[in-house]
Amino acid sequence: MADAISKTKLKNGLSVLLKEIHNAPLISSWIWYRVGSKDEPTGLTGISHWVEHMQFKGTPTFPSAILDKAISREGGMWNAFTYLDWTTFLETMPADKIDLALSLEADRMVNSVYSPEEVASERTVIISEREGSENEPLFQLDEAMQSAAFSVHPYHHEVIGDMADLHSITRDNLYDHYRTYYTPNNAVLALAGDFNSKTMLDRIRTLYEDIPSGQTPNRLNRPEPSARGEHRFSIEGPGETTYLQIAYRFPSANDPDLFPFMVLDSLLSGPSNPSAFSGGGISNKTSRLYRSLVEKDLAVGVFGSGQVTIDPFLYATTITIHPNKNYEDSLVAFDAEIKRIQDEQIPVEDIQRAIKQARAIFAYGTESITNQAAWLGFSEMFSEYQWFENYLDKLANVTSEDIQRVAQTWLLPQKRLVGTYLPDGKVS
């Protein structure tokens, strides 16, 4: 993590971050656009994700029929992700083949073809994706939770969008969204790997600097009002398993409370990865909720989730209820663990273990060249690269007092949502 990086802004506003890593002949390139599901007004939910899909439909120079073959033939891999605050496209290639990725991304920043036929075809694909998700109990529960948590802020809908909008979004809607947000001044290009920074920057200038900048996109600014009390709901659907989910507001990326909250998460249910793209699972069998729920046969699984976002999002604990137990018993046990953290002195060894695990899952998610490049750009979506560089030190400095203060401030009954998924025939 100590490797020096260079950061340059081209004359058209494109931010370029470069990090040389010479331990393997690979280069990973990520281009990040500051657009995600929170930029979608009612009637256009899911459009950012759909535009991401359309970017794989080709340009006159790189028709869709050759794109995947071209990357694979050169020994590379590529992908894309859309989330609440951003959309990103990546290629990891042999070092001497990276020019293909750079040329492709420069071209589809301005020349993507949104043919009516491809739009119609992709509508079918995305609606099918949405229908498949609707068969998953946890998708249903997550969507209901997100909708209940945000009545004003545009975090209220799932990234894939609402079914009604997936049927009504037009080709012109998609193309306008693309032209509005896919501009160099709304983007960050981040590369890590086996290259010379000066030579690489010269090539990037050649490919990207003549792309005209666009107008600064208007942003939806609708802060969510404070909660006015606990909100409970239940949904019913197919299956045989009952799920319980408890959600609280989660600090934004630049809130100092984020770091003690990440340690609190590790202590409660096992560490979460702060990003959506890097893995590195760690067993949560030493966590307090595992011991009080799973080991006591109230539940068969428990996990927490908190990810870095620009605005406060959600910290949700999801409990898979034991088939012979009532979800209310798990909620009582959950509340008891929250109360213990808020009121009792936390043993030093528990804090040290929680910090160690939170640091480990973060480190595991930064090992590869691909993820090193990802963090270069991802951190720029909500802060700057120093946020990433300082993350481990911030975790290491968390104290027992910090954890209790965060628990007493954020994990209050009147600030939470409690949702249950009840399978058909097992409503209690």
- What is the reported pLDDT for 3? 60
Q: Is the pLDDT of residue 86 over 80?
A: yes
Q: Of residues 192 and 366, which shows the higher confidence score? A: 192
What share of the chain in percent tops pLDDT 70? 97
Dump pLDDT digits (tens) for 303-332: 999 889 999 999 999 999 999 999 999 999
Beta 243-250 vs 313-321: how paired, if at all?
antiparallel
List C-alpha distances in Å: 170 to 167, 176, 427.
9, 10, 41
Q: Is the pLDDT of residue 192 over 70?
A: yes
Q: Angle 263-273-354 (CA atoms, 0-180°, nearest 5)?
A: 25
Dump pLDDT digits (tens) for 90-144: 999 999 999 999 999 999 999 999 999 999 999 999 999 999 999 999 999 999 9
- What is the reported pLDDT for 66? 85
Q: Is 36 helix (H, G, I), strand (E, B) or coil?
A: coil
- DSSP label at residue 220: -
What average pLDDT does this structure show over 385-414? Answer: 96
Q: Which of 51, 57, 295, 283 is nearest to 174 (CA)?
A: 51
Q: Of residues 280 and 74, which shows the higher confidence score? A: 74
Q: Is the pLDDT of residue 2 over 60?
A: no
- What is the reported pLDDT for 1? 40
Domains in the chain and their CATH numbers? Answer: 5-208 (3.30.830.10), 231-423 (3.30.830.10)
- 81: Cβ–Cβ under 8 A, 6 or more apart, which residues? 52, 87, 88, 276, 277
Average pLDDT over the chain, rounded to whole? 94
Give φ, ψ of 362 to 5 degrees.
Answer: -65, -45
Q: Which segment of 153-162, 359-368, 404-413 scores lowest on mean pLDDT?
A: 359-368
- What is the reported pLDDT for 425? 67
DSSP letters along 252-297, please? -TT-TTHHHHHHHHHHHH-PPPSSSS-------TTSHHIIIIITTT
Per-residue confidence band for 424, with pLDDT thresholds at 50, 70 and 90: confident
Dump pLDDT digits (tens) for 229-248: 999 999 999 899 999 999 99
161: left (phi over 0), alpha (psi -120 to 50) or beta: left
What share of the chain in percent tops pLDDT 90? 87
The stretches of 25-97 forming alpha helices (DSSP H) are 47-54, 64-73
Q: Tell me how far apart the alpha carbons of residues 146 and 148 are, in angstroms, rounded to a whole number.
A: 5
* Predicted structure pTM score: 0.95
Inter-axis angle of helices 171-181 and 116-134, nearest 10: 90
- What is the reported pLDDT for 288? 97
Dump pLDDT digits (tens) for 241-277: 999 999 999 999 999 999 999 999 999 999 988 887 7
Dump pLDDT digits (tens) for 37-63: 999 999 999 999 999 999 999 999 999
- What is the reported pLDDT for 278? 63
- What is the reported pLDDT for 308? 93
- What is the reported pLDDT for 427? 46
Beta 187-193 vs 26-33: how paired, if at all?
antiparallel
